[in-house]
Amino acid sequence: MLKKMMRLARAESGSAIAEMAVIAPLLVLLLVGLIEVGRYAQYSIMVGNAARAGVQYGAQNLATAADRTGMQSAALGDAQNAGGLSATATQFCRCADGTSSTCQPTDCTASHRLVFVQVDATGTFASLLRMPYVPASQTITSRAVMRVAQ
């Protein structure tokens, strides 16, 4: 009986290595996928934060709302040197009663004028690995709008 158990134990000695050889590529693929998803999430958060930083700069007062270059610089400065990031700043107005305005002081006769700034940040996320059915690069866009303090 002892010989039979020893023979059975020797027959199963390489099964753990065989199981690991089958599972290891799947685990590596799962790990790489998780890393790519994490990188994508981090980059999209960075693009959103850049748009928010630019609009916060512009919403301080009417002078900074007119400084489109300053808003774009604030957005790009917050992006932590992320390559491929661009920012576009705009300003628009509305009357408090909901009618449209061209940002002229005389536009809103029945109510007062509300000034808004908007920053659109766009970045291109590049994947580290080329995988089937996954694009090599992805464009991420974020928009932030804020009312200017008056």
Q: What is the mean pLDDT of residues 56-65?
A: 93
Alpha helices in the chain (DSSP H): 2-11, 15-58, 62-66, 68-78
Distances (CA, A) of 38 to 78, 85, 95, 101, 141: 20, 19, 43, 43, 17
pTM of this structure: 0.79
Half-sphere exposure of 128 (CA within 13 A, CB side): 9
Q: What is the pLDDT of residues 110-135, one digit of tens each?
A: 788 899 999 999 999 988 888 788 78
Q: Give 23's strand partners.
A: none
Is pLDDT larger for residue 32 or for residue 83?
A: 32
pLDDT given for residue 47 in this prediction: 95
pLDDT given for residue 13 in this prediction: 65
